Amino acid sequence: MKKIIPVNSKKELANFIDFPHDLYKDDPNYVPELFIAQKDLLTTHPFHKHSSLQTFLAYDDNKIVGRIAAIQNNSHNEFNKSNDGFFGFFDCINDQEVANLLFDEATKWLKERKLSTIIGPVNFSTNEACGLLIDGFDSPPMVMMTYNAPYYADLIEKAGLKKKVDLIAWNWTGQSYDDKSVRLLDMLQERLKRNNIIIRKINLKNFKEESAKLREVYNKAWDKNLGFVPMNDAEFDYLAKDLKMLLDVDFCLVAEQEGKVVGFGLAVPDLNQVLIKVKRGRLLPTGIFKILLGKSKISAIRIMALGVIDGYRKMGIEACLYGTIIKDYKRKGLKSAEASWTLEHNDLINNAIAAIKGDPYKKYRIYEKAI
């Protein structure tokens, strides 16, 4: 008999986090999330101070067959003047009845809070992992990107949800990029210097002050993006603390005019190349050593963010940031890079990436339904 239960105990939470490991145990492209990181995300992340969620598990007799989270993001609704509900952390066996039960339970929870839509998957907003993989199943996901089986789209669409927007991940392999921005780098930087704008690496010794400036730029540069939610101090600090452990300063660049940060570019090593070998996402007994030993062998980067605030766009700052990242990518002899993600209708950035021979090799979808 199939049933849905709310996750309330520590044991149920551990089962919720571990379910994908069992579901994907035979999938060579599946990358387990670190247990400790998922537990923190679901219990102590700053999101929980202003918003709420409820996680659910689906059982068939005594066997777990699915999971979902219903999410009320008050910051999103306040900023976007909306009344949206969300779902995230969706994983399910290939069974429409189970998927329908999960979505019914999540919808019921959202309706009880008088929310009028269900949107997802997002874990908790577009600031975190989001989107359902619908194209590009032949390789593992890059760090902090989602992964799922191809049948998920069918389950979600048959549960009545429709496409809201697609997100694109772009790839370069080896030296397949167009290095025009590298060739023009010196000239572009000279032009920026005439406006007292410099491109520099992040200063890790002054990380707290640096990350505060980057948060200000992030909240200004991305505020027009679909579904954007500004990060408060605690949320950005939480993300920055995680990223600091990953950072390669050569790939964290700041555009600055006389001390004012006006843009930044961030690429991070693809830690998933290491995490894919960490069984069930556990650091102990051997996972921590796999991470420590494997970090130096990572051969790919993910360009996570590249933004410039209003008034400073189309001056060549974006090209300088990309050019500097590509130059160091080449110098370090890396094998691949991903820029992810971009909105499908962001022609300005998509055309710029296509112009430097980016390959749109993965596509993710966010769904919605009025409730």
| Domain CATH for 192 | 3.40.630.30
Please report how many Cα atoms fall inside a 13 Å half-sphere around the Cα of residue 73, on the Cβ side: 33
Of 363, 342, 357, nearest to 174 (Cα)?
Answer: 357
Domain boundary among 138, 167, 196: 167
Report whether pLDDT(99) > 80: yes
Write down the pLDDT at residue 227: 74
**By mean pLDDT, which of 62-71, 128-137, 219-228, 296-305 is the weakest?**
219-228
pLDDT of residue 289: 66
Q: Domain boundary at 167, 200, 226, which? A: 167
Examine the domain organization and report whether 185 and 262 are in the same domain.
yes
**Same domain for 153 and 178?**
no
Please state the rounded mean pLDDT for residues 22-37: 96
Q: Buried b / exposed e across 335-358, counting CB within 10 Å, b at 16+?
A: ebbbbbbbbbebeebbebbeebeb
pLDDT at 272 over 90: yes
Residues 126, 182 within the same domain = no
Residue 103's pLDDT band (cuts 50, 70, 90): very high
In degrees, rounded to 5, the angle at the alpha carbon of residue 74 between the alpha carbons of residues 13 and 125 is 60
* Statement to judge: residues 86 and 217 lie in one domain: no
111 pLDDT exceeds 90?
yes
Give CA–CA dist 189/316, Å, rounded: 8
350 to 138, 165, 200, 206, 357: CA distances (angstroms): 22, 15, 25, 33, 11
101 and 216 share a domain? Answer: no
The pLDDT tens digits for 285-321 are 776 767 777 788 999 999 998 889 999 988 889 888 9
Residue with the two structure tokens 């025009």: 180
Query: What are the backbone dihedrals phi and psi of residue 89, each rounded to the nearest 5 degrees, phi first?
Result: 50, 40
The two three-digit tokens of residue 190, written as one number? 């000279």
Number of structural domains found in the chain: 2
Task: Tell me the mean pLDDT in the region 69-76.
Answer: 96
Q: Range of 58's domain? A: 2-167
Note the pLDDT of residue 349. 83
Tell me the mean pLDDT in the region 357-364: 94
**What's the confidence (pLDDT) of residue 57?**
98
Mean pLDDT of 206-215: 90
Instruction: Give CA–CA dist 322/304, Å, rounded.
Output: 12
> Residue 244 — very low, low, confident or very high, per pLDDT cuts 50/70/90?
confident
Residue 145, judged by CB atoms within 10 A of its CB (0-12, 13-18, 19+), counts as buried
Predicted TM-score (pTM) of this structure:
0.93
* Same domain membership, residue 204 and residue 156: no
